[in-house]
Structure 1
Amino acid sequence: MAKAVTTLRSGWEFSPVNSDHIPETRDLGVLPARQLPSEVYLDLLENGKIADPYLDLNELDARWIGECGWIYHTTFAAPAGYGDEGRTTDLIFEGLDTFATVLINGKEVLKSDNMFVSHRINVDGHLVGDKNTLEVRFESARQKGLQLLKDHPEHRWIVHQTELSRGPVRKAQYHWGWDWGPITLGCGIWKPVSLEVYSTRIEDVAIDYTLGKDLKTADIKIAIATAGKQAGAAEIELALDGKVVYSKKLESATPGPDPDESIYDVSFSLDHFKLWWPRNYGEQPLYTLKVTLQSQEGTQTLDAVEKRIGFRKAELIQEEDKCGTSFYFRVNKVDIFAGGSCWIPGDSFPTRITDDKYREWVKLAAEGNQTLIRVWGGGIYESNAFFAACDEFGVLSMQDFGFACASYPTYPEFLKSIELEARQNVRRLRHHPSLIIWAGNNEDYQLIERYNLEYTFNDKDPESWLKTNFPARYIYEHLLPKVIDEETKGTIYRPSCPWGNGLSTTQVVDPTVGDVHQWNIWHGVIAPYQHLPQLGGRFVSEFGLEAYPHMHTLEKFITDPTQRHVGSRTMDFHNKDIGHERHLLGYTGVNFRLKFDLAALAHLTQVMQSDGVTWAYKMWRKMWGVPGQRQCGGVLVWMLNDSWPGISWSLADYNLVPKPSHYAVKRLMAPIAVGVSRKFFDCTTRPMDETWKRNTAHVNPRLANEDVVYDVWTANSRPQGRKGTIVVRFISVDTGRDLLEPLTKEINILANATTDVVAKQKLDVPAENGKSESSAIVIHATLLGEDGKTVLHEDMSWPDPIKYLDLSDRGLEVSEVKSGKVEISAKKPVKGFVFDEVPGLKLSDNGFDIVPGVQKVVEVSGNDGKLTWKVVEG
């Protein structure tokens, strides 16, 4: 008989346990739960027992939830076929969060201590008739964590961002709160529960392939592991767009490692297949692999599995060069500049995220010309839907293993749980062509330098690492790479993100080797974001600046109108970065004239964030260089998204509403782009005073206007070069006139490279309007196609800081066109034109600057009301 699956979604109830010390639980009783998957916060919210933790200060009032245990229970009938000869019945929990004991009809059948692990329990002999009880008892993850700290005093517990109790607990680490999200230490059945009745089932399908040197042939191996009595045959079918390109019936199997396991395998070669490419480099053909098991008689399908796969060759290129050692990806023999973002969980309650929502997020990144998304290690191993969307849209992905900002223990039970966690999730995700690299953790190696932990690079004995005060090295440099090698041989793996060692023996994180997280912008020394070009590395896998979301989002999570002002308690509570007041106001105030009307300040922070992001992407992409001289291989902004409605580093807020920085990345990562920049002057760049022997200079706004040194270049991600024309204009901020003759150059745009057009060119800027000093200018560069007319890309450079400029009376005109387009023009340069965005509104561009003589056209859809906008004034 065919495998029969019964899902246990509805009919669940829940109640607190061992909670007499928590007053909020005393009158709760037994409550109905939502349909599974679910979690206790959302079940309490559904029953009206708590206020929405995402609004106002309600999160504080709900923290008691994580201090007690909870029981979930239901009743169910034994499924059809249960107890039949030759049939097996399993109960499957795909995910339990986190410390859970499972009982069937009062008998314990499972104890779980890892949120990231799935469980299959044979329940033959445990079920009776049509009324069986299923009970899941959850213990408080925080209380269990505190107990584990006491149980293992031999470990030096170091945990950043949160309290120590998260260190020994295999639960999504961000549930303890982070500097961008709330504390939501709940529990629950967070993935589906089902009963399976089968005679034989497919346990695993492993696909391994090697592409020929010319990338025109693929040698493919498929191994099908089955459980139960041996099937009659396994059939495989590989198809593209409904057309079968290979099929085979496998009549015999070999015994597997377990007594009831069998292995069917086949090897074959495929010619004339289509390669899967990253977005903007080619198409994303996805083949459907269908595997079916047939009965001994060949008359019935016992089980079937489908996977969508793509064929590509991925490499991490680390070659010695004049800057150290390169770090960039090569896909299908093409060098890829990986500009993109980091991803945190899309919700602090992960059961809220639907497959459609995942697709919307990845689509947003793809539409923003992002090439790679990195899944941060303090969240979850992302869902199949997330990676399927990455496959579909051609967005490369990186998955951190589930460790972040801590020194993790290595006692035997912990290591055993980690290995199972890693093996299950690598197996689940390994077929996705978008997933090209795994990293062992997020920032754990930085603790070595901060706390002077023991780390001898030349010591290659894993057992010795367990005896140091940084035993987690064993996890990242032995256990996890072993799992990767055994489960998905050839996949790129790095012990950490960031990670420099392995090629550099001087320090763990090295800007000349590997990737770096650059937090001397915003954190650290809080350098001006105009210094970002000098603060990069071979690959920048984190950097960022905060900004407010749009007013629609702010007003939605701050329900009290009296709290809708800058610096209110509720506003501060929804920004979890402990230094946000100084950093957010500081970076905004250094660059722009501060305004403390909430809407006005929100706009200024958005323009500030966009400007900082622009400096990073523009200048680090310029360092992509040419083959053999790839000084920077990619940049990932922290971060793409939010996990709740708040104020953070995200490019788009919790409601999927983009900030201007999203559009900045979209413009800067265009396949063919022009860039223009000028030398940034501030007090740190001037010589020391000869008398005082220190820098006594004050900011001199005239210097920025008079001493203009600028660069112009092109960046091309295409594998083909082309011809074009550069036109550079020098426009007065005050009058909008061109103060100098435009520079026009016909150029050859190099293939997959950056091309210098103007390098360190000094300008003599004239005065105007009877002034003795030179005028402030905007440098505007346009890249035209071979016809000399088609605009391929534009960019501009403003004098810093913007706050010294008079931006009044700009002559701005905005015309709404019925065809779904809006036209914007100005008689003088405009800084930071931002449409106010709301959910459902779609814009082709936003958060841009405008110069005279160039009409900006924005495509608009989903607009139910009148468009409103703001610009930087002064």
Structure 2
Amino acid sequence: MASYAQYIISSGWSFKDSEDQSPEAWLPVSTVPSVVQQDLQANGKLKDPFIGFNELSARWVNEKSWTYRNVFQKPTIPAGSSIFIVFDGLDTFAKVKLDGRVILESDNMFLAHRVDVTEALDTEGDHTIEIEFDCALLRARELRNQYPDHEWVGFNGDPARLSVRKAQYHWGWDWGPVLMTAGIWKEVRLEVYSTRISDLWTEVDLDDGHSNAHITATAEVETSDTNNSYTATFTLSLQGQEIGTEVVSLEGDVAKTTFDVQDPSLWWPNGYGDQTLYDISVSLKRDEGQIHQVAKKFGIRTAEVIQQPDKHGKSFFFRINGVDIFCGGACWIPADSLLTNITSDRYRKWIELMAAGHQVMIRVWGGGIYEDESFYQACDEVGIMVWQDFMFGCGNYPTWPELLESIEKEAEYNLRRLRHHPSIVIWVGNNEDYQVQEQRGLTYNYEDKDPDSWLKTDFPARYIYEHILPRAVKKIIPSIYYHPGSPWGDGKITSDPTVGDMHQWNVWHGTQEKYQIFDTLGGRFNSEFGMEAFPHIATIDHFVENEADKYPQSHVLDFHNKADGHERRIATYLVENLRTATDLETYVYLTQVVQAETMMFGYRGWRRQWGDERHCGGALLWQLNDCWPTISWAIVDYFLRPKPAFYAVSRVLKPVAIGVRREHHDWSVSHAVPPKASKYELWVVSSLRKEQTGQVELRFISIKTGLEIREAVVHEDVTIAPNGTTNILDGVIDNEVDEPHVLAARVWIGGELVARDVDWPQPFKYLDLSDRGLVVTTISDVEDEQILELRTSKPVKCLVFEERENVRVSDSAIDIVPGDDQFVTVKGLKPGDAPLKYKFLGQ
């Protein structure tokens, strides 16, 4: 009996401009998957669009159609078998011809395709496959013109993008270039079989006490064999040890069995327990011969979104395995404008960086892609929960019948593809489409529950988010929570802070509030907020070619910042808070200080609110990463170099963190008249599941002299509440008596110093931070690991270490006070390497 076989078609491809009919037009393709910009670069026909102004000289590519070709030999076909050609992803308008005959036409980047080519490959020898990729930019505009009655409105990019099922950020966004890719962006292969396992999944029922997990394993089988006498052998194992095996016969095209696992090892988010993954495999056999085998990993866990009335409105937080989780994390955009640049290793490094920074959730944003399998595998293995948007972003999407049909197929395909990943804990209908509805005054009557009537309004996209997508989720993954949009809450205005999730952009965008009050602006779950900062100078050196352009407001630097009004917004937050600079390195650093402080103020306050009846259920900053070397809201740049904000967030999200803060005094409104007195508060937050006993200290240290201006407050045997907030004390600073000073807080548990926080008078521009007496000493240097001791005689603000390729520091963006030496581990420096440079405020 013939078994399943596959042949990957990755080499032997060539491509050309579809309009060029000359024989020499064909150019070699080094490997597939690829996109046309990469192949043009490899052939010397295009400069790197990430450098300088090259994006502009690459835009001609966006308006072309492209053809890819491969000549391959028919594989050996056992008797009774069929040949299928499989495309995991074609970007985007693709017409596939085999030996000149059209076998497939696709217009959705997010779908895979499988075509039976047995008859087409009837003859032996060479066969030619050609894929014509029509220009998505021009096709989108044609589609828009075909439907003039639709309200083509949205944020970012050409509104015509709404008509095309392609990654929306390719049209350009306020952090990314206009690079309209085309090509074979995922694997192509031939599959030869008469019977195969087409899908395998598990459904897990975990009892309330977590003592028993009832696991239902299901395999779908595709066969052309009329003699359907197959058996399916299911095997459940953990870390190579077999737990159980069941042999079952097929019922129609489905095989199903159940396993009961006593005292299962659960899958937990980062910091809460192990990320245990079980293996489920199924082997299809007949007459003792194995036909096909498929295996997947899955986790045993429960995931709930808790929405219940409370004193703040209606909660919105995640509960995993019965434990409430404060979801500190970030939003994710595609890690490259040219998607086939992203390797599994690069995905892994991003996710491991999140875990090292104490983050527990990533939000896959709806203007990109349903990510690669290796992204979700990394999240499973590292313990990063995934908030997964469907791919709709910032627009009023049209709903003609063919498009709705394609969207439904897209949703069901990706739900099936990803349903085994325990890291995915929520599916969400779109990004900010309900905000477009509000801002453009489109019709949305939440009380109208008739889906057909929604299609007749000027906001027909509601039909997608509240009918098609929830129906698909219920059909494919009935156990997971579906949320219609982000932000969204029970049909109320999306800025309502009492319900659902919120995108809070009144710092940076909107009313441009002071970042010091960020925590007062939040809602029940803050799924977007941010502050821009320049990347490190090494990243700027990569894309700025001329030394003469390396000044803060140079043309090329502005070109690499796609945010509307970024000049005035950056300038506002800099001039309000810091003494400005004209040299580029200092300017870069100052923008990073502002971003780090902004993120700290937001996360610190919102995490404190977690302990107040889950007032804030989580905070996902915009954004973790970049898709090209740029200036943006990312806290880690395109080259995986963390900005200071990454470290500031990491400290606030530690399992136990301490917070100290004096009340905000708006110096702009008071015309810089200082307050006579300032209240302050001190608290400890914990994500630990058990009560702790600790020691808490608060010191009052002069910024000018480094001496303590009053006796420290020390609380012994403080009971620290589990998974919540413990308020320690509040007090008053007499600004007419006390000289400018920092409040330096520390907490010990079991004799170990576990967290620090330092509160400074605001704004920094009024402070003299020169002559700090900082000493950085290498106290250990073994192999590729150094330990640095940081000591100071006066308070130091935001000590930032240089970020170097393949070098990692354990901490950065550090505040240091006298009498509290800190230690930083540096990994990756080799003998003879220069020590890392560093900067601090007022240096």
Is the pair's TM-score, using the shorter chain for normalization, greater than 0.5? yes
Aligned to 1:118: 112
Partners of 2:495 and 2:516 in 1: how far apart? 23
Distance 1:644 1:231 in 2: 53
Task: Say whether the 8 Å CA contact 1:174–1:181 is kept in structure 2.
Answer: yes
2:305 to 316, 320, 326: 316
Question: Contact 2:95–2:132 at 8 Å: present in 1 too?
Answer: yes
Structure 2: how far apart are the matches of 1:306 and 1:391?
Answer: 16
Is the 1:739–1:766 contact (alpha carbons within 8 Å) kept by the matching residues of 2? no
**In the alignment, what sits opposite 1:812?**
774
Residue number in structure 1 paired with 2:364 = 375
Say which SS state the counterpart of residue 199 (structure 2) adopts: strand
Q: Is the 8 A contact 1:278 1:284 kept in 2?
A: yes
One-letter amino acid matched to 2:184? I
CA distance in 1: counterparts of 2:805 and 2:76, whole angstroms? 46
Contact 1:501 / 1:508 at 8 angstroms: preserved in 2? no
Of the structure 1 ranges 210-219 and 131-140, higher mean CA displacement relative to structure 2 is found in 210-219
CA distance in 2, matches of 1:764, 1:402: 54
Q: Does 1:534 align with 2:511?
A: no
1:297 aligns with 2:253: no
Alignment of 1:398-417 (within 5 A): 398-417=387-406
Letter in 2 for 1:758: L
Q: Cα distance, 1:368 vs. partner?
A: 0.4
Of 498, 501, 505, the residue aligned with 1:519 is 505
Distance (whole Å) between structure 1 residues aligned to residue 387 and residue 75 of structure 2: 40
Letter in 2 for 1:146: R
Aligned to 1:569: 555
CA separation in 2, counterparts of 1:548 and 1:447?
29
Q: Distance between the aligned counterparts of 1:509 and 1:781, measured in 2?
A: 34
**C-alpha displacement of 1:28:** 7.7
Query: Partner residue of 1:49?
Result: 45
Q: Give the conservation status (yes or no) of the 8 Å contact 2:152–2:160.
A: no
**Aligned residue in 2 for 1:9:** 10
Distance 1:596 1:558 in 2: 17
How far off is 1:34 after superposition?
A: 2.4
Mapped to 2, the partners of 1:509 and 1:756 lie a distance apart of: 29
How far is 1:509 from its partner?
4.0
SS at match of 2:708: coil
1:18 corresponds to which residue? 19
**1:446-488 superposed Cα distances (whole Å, 9 cap, x missing partner):** 1121111111111111111111110010100010000000001
Q: Tell me the CA shift for residue 291 of structure 1.
A: 1.2
Counterparts of residues 172-211 of structure 1 (less than 5 Å): 172-211=167-206
Q: Distance in 2 between matches of 1:699 and 1:683?
A: 4
Q: What is the one-letter code of the residue matched to 1:649? A: W
Work out the CA distance in 1 between the residues paired with 2:724 and 2:494.
30
- 8 Å Cα contact 1:673-1:793 kept in structure 2: yes
Asked if 1:267 corresponds to 2:233, the answer is: no
Q: Secondary structure at the match of 2:573?
A: helix
| Contact persistence 1:439–1:493 (CA under 8 A) | yes
Match of 1:253 in 2: 250
Aligned to 1:777: 741
Q: 1:149 aligns with which of 140, 144, 151?
A: 144
Counterpart residue identity of residue 821, structure 1 = I
1:641 aligned to which of 609, 625, 640: 625
Write the letter of the residue equivalent to 2:112.
S
- Give the residue type in structure 1 aligned to 2:106: S
Q: Distance in 1 between matches of 2:632 and 2:155?
A: 18
Query: Hey, what's the Cα distance between the residues in 2 that align with 1:528 and 1:435?
Result: 34
Alpha-carbon distance, 1:865 to partner: 2.9
Shift of 1:72: 0.2
The answer to which of 179-188 and 817-826 deviates more is: 817-826
Of the candidates 425, 431, 436, which is equivalent to residue 436 of structure 1?
425
Amino acid corresponding to residue 134 of structure 1 in structure 2: I
Q: Percent identity?
A: 44
Aligned to 1:554: 540
Q: Secondary structure at the match of 1:204?
A: strand
CA distance in 2, matches of 1:231, 1:842: 57
Q: Which AA in structure 2 matches 1:633?
A: G
Shift of 1:683: 4.8
TM-score by length of 1: 0.94
The offset of 1:557, in angstroms, is 1.1
Q: CA deviation at 1:268?
A: 3.1
For residues 441-456 of structure 1, the aligned pairs below 5 Å read: 441-456=430-445
Contact 2:684–2:720 under 8 Å retained in 1? yes
Match of residue 61, structure 2, among 40, 62, 65: 65
Structure 2 residue matching 1:416: 3-state secondary structure: helix
CA contact 1:372–1:396 (8 Å) conserved in 2? yes
Q: Distance in 2 between matches of 1:786 and 1:45?
A: 58
Checking the alignment, whether the CA contact within 8 Å between 1:739 and 1:765 is kept in structure 2 is: no
Aligned to 1:476: 465
2:383 corresponds to: 394
Is 2:708 the counterpart of 1:726? no
Code of the aligned partner of 1:757: I
Separation in structure 1 between the aligned mates of residue 12 and residue 646 of structure 2, nearest angstrom: 43
Question: Cα distance, 1:830 vs. partner?
Answer: 0.7
AA partner of residue 9 (structure 1)? S
- The match for 2:792 is 826
Three-state SS of the structure 2 residue aligned to 1:254 is coil
Contact 1:19–1:69 (CA<8 Å) still a contact in 2?
no
Sort the Cα spacing of 1:357 and 1:231 in 2 relative to 1 into closer, same or farther, 3 A: farther
Q: Is the 8 A contact 1:678 1:708 kept in 2?
A: yes
Cα 1:813–1:321 shift into 2, 3 Å: same
1:469-868, aligned counterparts within 5 Å?
Answer: 469-502=458-491, 506-626=492-612, 629-683=613-667, 697-700=670-673, 702-703=674-675, 706-746=676-716, 747-759=718-730, 761-764=731-734, 767=737, 774-787=738-751, 790-817=752-779, 818-819=781-782, 820-863=786-829, 864-868=833-837
The separation in 2 between residues aligned to 1:353 and 1:186, in whole angstroms, is: 14
Quick one: which of 461, 464, 468 aligns to 2:453?
464
- Provide the C-alpha distance between the structure 2 equivalents of 1:640 and 1:328, rounded to a whole number of angstroms: 21
State the SS of the aligned residue for 1:50: coil
> Which 10-residue stretch deviates more, 238-247 or 100-109?
238-247
- State the AA in 1 paired with 2:501: D
1:765 Cα deviation from its structure 2 partner: 5.1
* Residue 27 of structure 1: how far off its partner (Å): 11
Map 1:76-87 to 2 at 5 A.
76-81=72-77, 84-87=78-81
Structure 2 distance, partners of 1:168, 1:18, is 25
Q: Which residue of 2 aligns with 1:341?
A: 330
Measure the CA separation in 1 of the matches of 2:389 and 2:189.
29
Amino acid at match of 1:742: A
1:508, distance to aligned residue in structure 2 (A): 4.1
Separation (CA, whole Å) in 2 of partners of 1:865 and 1:383: 38
Q: How many residues align?
A: 830
Taking the aligned partners of 2:23 and 2:649, their CA distance within structure 1 comes to 51
Q: 1:440 to 1:40 in 2, by over 3 A?
A: same
Question: Secondary structure of the residue that 2:466 maps to in structure 1?
Answer: helix
Q: In the alignment, residue 749 of structure 1 is paired with which amino acid?
A: I
Give unpaired runs (5+ residues) of structure 1.
Answer: 21-25, 256-261, 687-696, 768-773
Q: Which residue of 2 aligns with 1:326?
A: 315
Q: Given residue 653 of structure 1, which amino acid in structure 2 is its aligned partner?
A: D
Distance 1:750 1:727 in 2: 17
SS in 2 for 1:828: coil
Which residue type is aligned with residue 232 of structure 2? A
One-letter code of the match for 1:2? S
CA 1:44–1:27 in 2, change beyond 3 Å: closer, same or farther?
farther
Q: Distance in 1 between matches of 2:116 and 2:24?
A: 34
Q: Does the 8 A contact of 2:637 with 2:643 survive in 1?
A: yes
- 8 A contact 2:685–2:726 mirrored in 1: yes
Alignment correspondent of 2:273: 282
